[in-house]
Amino acid sequence: MLRIVIATTVVAFCATGAEAYCLSAPDNATSNYIENSTAHTLCLQQELSDSTERVELETRFKAQIELLTQQQQKLQMQSFEPFAAPRF
């Protein structure tokens, strides 16, 4: 199970593309002095959104891995209990 989660994490990070490169062109009268700035701002907003989504996924994967690790440790401890010395 842990291997599946790790494999999913690796695939998710490999599937994310490179960061958007937002070029900023100077505004001029033909662009009404706002179109290029608006496009640049929207590009940066998308980059921020993608970055936030990636961090959220990473956090969820880490939490899931931690939970599975704790469950695995608990199962290992339970499997050794029958061999423990009897308690009186």
14 pLDDT more than 60:
no
Does some domain include residue 24?
A: no
* Total domain count, the chain: 1
Residue type for 73, please?
Answer: Q
Rounded Cα distance between 50 and 44, Å, is 10
Q: What is the mean predicted confidence (pLDDT) over 37-50?
A: 89
DSSP structural state of residue 13? H
Q: With respect to residue 53, please indicate whether it lies within any of the assigned structural domains.
A: yes
| Structural domain includes residue 5 | no
Residue 82 binned pLDDT confidence (cut-offs 50, 70, 90): low
In a domain, 15, yes or no: no
**How many other CB atoms sit within 10 Å of the CB of residue 36?**
16
Query: Does residue 46 lie within any of the structural domains?
Result: yes
> Using CA atoms, how far apart are residues 36 and 44, in angstroms rounded to an integer?
12
Which residues have CB under 8 Å from 65's CB, separation 6+? Answer: 2, 5, 6, 9
Domain annotation covers residue 83: no
In a domain, 42, yes or no: yes
**Domain carrying residue 70:** 29-76
pTM for this structure? 0.56
Q: Is residue 67 part of a domain?
A: yes
